[in-house]
Amino acid sequence: DVKVTQSSRYLVKRTGEKVFLECVQDMDHENMFWYRQDPGLGLRLIYFSYDVKMKEKGDIPEGYSVSREKKERFSLILESASTNQTSMYLCASSDTSGEQYFGPGTRLTVT
């Protein structure tokens, strides 16, 4: 079974804090993705990575950065959290088939 894990299920941070969201997959997948999910908007792609040390901007990269130092780990960084970044964050990984496997999500609240 493919397993994608995310470091926290729930996080509460203050405005201006630096926030790290970690994602690990155990299937040796090349591709990893970070999405945010908001009511009525579906899943929106923030950043993705096709390989170690490689990153590409998705549809809404502003206010975020990422790091992929190892193949199995993809981190999402909020340099200075803002209240409009309160959301559900989902990590996914895929191989060349295209099917993406998702983690359970991290619900982030920024106060």
Partner 1 sequence: GESVGLHLPTLSVQEGDNSIINCAYSNSASDYFIWYKQESGKGPQFIIDIRSNMDKRQGQRVTVLLNKTVKHLSLQIAATQPGDSAVYFCAENISNDYKLSFGAGTTVTVRA
16 binds partner 1 (CB under 8 A): no
12 binds partner 1 (CB under 8 A): no
60 binds partner 1 (CB under 8 A): no
Q: Which of 19, 24, 33, 46 binds partner 1 (CB under 8 A)?
A: 33
Q: Cβ 17 to partner 1, closest distance in Å?
A: 25
Q: Which of 28, 42, 62, 84 binds partner 1 (CB under 8 A)?
A: 42
Q: Are 31 and 88 in contact (CB under 8 A)?
A: no
By CB under 8 A, name the binding residues for partner 1: 4, 31, 33, 35, 40-45, 48, 50, 58, 90, 92, 94, 96, 98-105
